[in-house]
Structure 1
Amino acid sequence: MSLMLPSESPSARSLVGVADDLFAALRGESAALPRATSVVLVLIDGLGAIGLRAHAGHARALTAGMGKKDVAVSVFPSTTAAALTSTLTGAWPGEHGLVGYRVLDRSRDVLVNQLTGWEAEGVDPATWQSMPTVFERARAEDRPAFAVGVAAYESSGFTRATLRGAEFVAAGTPAERVETAFDLAERHPGSLVYCYLPEADKAGHRHGVASLAWVSALEEIDRALSRTAPSGVGVLVTSDHGMVDVPAHRQVVLEAEHLHGVHAIGGEPRMLHVYLDPGVDVAQASARWSEDLAGLADVGTREDAIAAGLFGPTVTEAAASRIGDLLVVARGNGAVYDGTAADQRGRGMVGQHGGLTPEERQVPLLRFGAFAR
């Protein structure tokens, strides 16, 4: 079975275009956004547009005036490593090369966790992700560039891959991060300021979307963003992906008999990268996996995915080498697990993402401050 993107409006905005919109607004050249003296990009990790609308009563500041067109489409896979990097480089996963949560570095035969495994797995952020970041682009235009986030992330490999060129400023609560971002934008005219809020994503993974913990995180974020932006500062609020809750009865567990000819499994349970042993016939393996997972997941080859444009219009040689021989995209609210893996902690996650559902791929794109309609 071939993998195909769901139908979307030709006018749907992609996260990949957010960076260009912000620079154009700073220059007064944007057709989408008014001119701004400085810009703040707030990224709420894990907040889908559908989930936000369903809980509008808990997010009155965020949803006030939110219209049908105030959405963007995330990339594939709909996961943080791929989508955040696309937002912060303006490049598709097929260009920047972060094509999943965990991918195989074929040159060293090592699975690389692209969020937390850079140091442990010996990956150089500057060469693994070589596309210029929005912060490097800002510095090239002599614009101040800042990234406001959680202190624990300041020196991570993923930060060095995606926030290069930014002055990192740590702040504690969501309210403190937003306040810091607004203050930086006001004090540094012409600046680009990024503000990262991961609380909803963490609560969703652990407890599920619409859990009390997730709603509490959403309310805290909403309170933080209820403050008025400084005069002239344009604020754009978006996300990298949404989530679906995966109940226990929708977990598909692959045992050893299903994994014949498989060298390694990467990705994540909503979107697996399956790397085959040398010599295994890819077409036959794809047909077998499609039959085994009929009605549960869609299965396609790397060539299927590239031809369908899932990773963007251009796929570099480096990015292609990291894509699995097979891709397995769970349907509905299911997830597919490697039952032979030593670490089964992932099966405890409730909220998950990575797939092609609207809940995962549609994200809010909200305008405040000088950008407000």
Structure 2
Amino acid sequence: MSLMLPSASPSARSVVGVAGDLSAALRGESELLPRAESVVLVVVDGLGALGLRGHSGHARTLSGAMTKRDVAHSVFPSTTAAALTSIVTGAWPGEHGLVGYRVLDRERDVLVNQLSGWESDGLDPLAWQPVPTVFEGEAAAGRETFAVGLAAYATSGFTRATLRGATFVPALTPEDRVEAAFALAHDHPGSFVYCYLPEVDKAGHRYGIASAEWVAALERIDAALSVRVPAGVGVLVTSDHGMVDVPVHRQAVLDESHLRGVRHLGGEPRMLHVYLEPAADESAVLSRLRTDLEGAADVVTRDDAIRAGLFGPAVTEAAAARVGDVLVIARASWAVYDGTAADQRNRGMIGQHGAMTDEETRVPLIRLGAFAR
């Protein structure tokens, strides 16, 4: 079975390079962006380029500033833990090691949540994610860095893994966060400011991207970003991933007969990490899952995925150890669930991401302020 690779060309822009572009713009050395006195990186979690274009009438500021070229490609898997880390480190998941939502800590033989489980799962942010952040790099160069987000994220393990080096500034609403980010960039010349807006992602997960709630969240973000950008401040608006809506009839559920030889199921419903029992026959599990999920998902080995470059051009030993022995990558609008799990709440999630569709992997890269075309 051949692996269905993403359609992005090797020269396509990636979110992995966003932070480097902004840093170069501060120095007047970017080949893609004009020089700016300060820069603001706005990440609208969950906003795909296709989703934005499909709802352009509800996002006049963003869609009006977005040309056909203003698109970047996310990483694999197209999930928040992997992609946000790539955005702020400039490293591929195969380097920074956050290769999915839940992965196996093989030393302890336990699944760990790389987004929200740092404290409960006992992860050391500096050891588990060792790649320096853009904020550490800018601080070493003598520039001030700030991260604006919800107060609940200020001291989380994920924040310490991905935003270390930045001064965290809490703000409650999207409007408050954008205003604070623009003010920080204006008041601190030469600074690098990060602004995180999770509202679209949250609405999409709960209600789907075809819902009135998702449209309302998009309209609110667009309005927040419609305020005047201070002179000399360059703003780049992007996202970590897009989304697809998963209808009930596209839920593939794995029961015990499908999972013989499987010790743990990690990842997320659109990109499962399958970890095998030590004595399991990998080829037998692979063959069975390919048959059981024919048409719904691509099923490949870890070696296949790494050789195909899905996790980036280089994969560290630590990152490779976190990748499942077998990967289940959902096609179209399918999602694959563990029917043996006690907690089935995630089957109520409508908007999902993690796989390789254009809806999930193409994200906007919109220039505002001093970067406007």
TM over 0.5: yes
CA contact (8 A) 1:24 1:30 kept: yes
1:305-328 Cα offsets, whole Å, 9 max, x none, are 000000000000000000000000
Which residue of the partner structure matches residue 30 of structure 1? Answer: 30
Secondary structure of the corresponding residue to residue 64 of structure 1: helix
Counterpart check, 1:295 vs 2:295: yes
Secondary structure of the corresponding residue to residue 256 of structure 1: coil
1:65-84 Cα offsets, whole Å, 9 max, x none, are 31111000000000000000
Which residue of the partner structure matches residue 192 of structure 1? Answer: 192
CA contact (8 A) 2:21 2:32 kept: yes
Percent identity over the alignment is 72
RMSD over aligned Cα, in angstroms?
0.8
User: What is the CA–CA distance in structure 1 between the aligned matches of 2:294 and 2:242, rounded to whole Å?
Assistant: 25
User: What is the CA–CA distance in structure 2 between the aligned matches of 1:2 and 1:315, rounded to whole Å?
Assistant: 21
Counterpart residue type for residue 67 of structure 1: T
CA contact (8 A) 2:103 2:113 kept: yes
Which residue of the partner structure matches residue 249 of structure 2? Answer: 249
Which residue of the partner structure matches residue 113 of structure 2? Answer: 113
CA contact (8 A) 1:4 1:310 kept: no
Counterpart residue type for residue 215 of structure 1: V
1:42-67 Cα offsets, whole Å, 9 max, x none, are 00000000000000000000111311
Runs ≥4 residues deviating over 3 A: none
Equivalent runs, 1:257-272 vs 2, <5 Å: 257-272=257-272
User: What is the CA–CA distance in structure 2 between the aligned matches of 1:286 and 1:53, rounded to whole Å?
Assistant: 38
CA contact (8 A) 1:2 1:299 kept: no
Deviation at 1:286? 1.2
User: What is the CA–CA distance in structure 2 between the aligned matches of 1:202 and 1:194, rounded to whole Å?
Assistant: 19
Counterpart residue type for residue 309 of structure 2: G
User: What is the CA–CA distance in structure 1 between the aligned matches of 2:325 and 2:82, rounded to whole Å?
Assistant: 18
CA contact (8 A) 2:65 2:366 kept: no
Gaps of 5+ in 2: none
Out of 278-287 and 35-44, give the one that drifted further.
278-287
Equivalent runs, 1:1-373 vs 2, <5 Å: 1-373=1-373
1:5-32 Cα offsets, whole Å, 9 max, x none, are 2222343200000011011100001110
CA contact (8 A) 1:4 1:308 kept: no
Secondary structure of the corresponding residue to residue 363 of structure 1: strand
Counterpart residue type for residue 201 of structure 1: D
User: What is the CA–CA distance in structure 1 between the aligned matches of 2:330 and 2:180, rounded to whole Å?
Assistant: 39
Deviation at 1:2? 4.0
User: What is the CA–CA distance in structure 2 between the aligned matches of 1:148 and 1:210, rounded to whole Å?
Assistant: 29
Q: 1:185 to 1:364 in 2, by over 3 A?
A: same
Using structure 1 for the length normalisation, give the TM-score: 0.99
Counterpart residue type for residue 206 of structure 1: R
User: What is the CA–CA distance in structure 1 between the aligned matches of 2:160 and 2:71, rounded to whole Å?
Assistant: 28
Counterpart residue type for residue 146 of structure 1: F
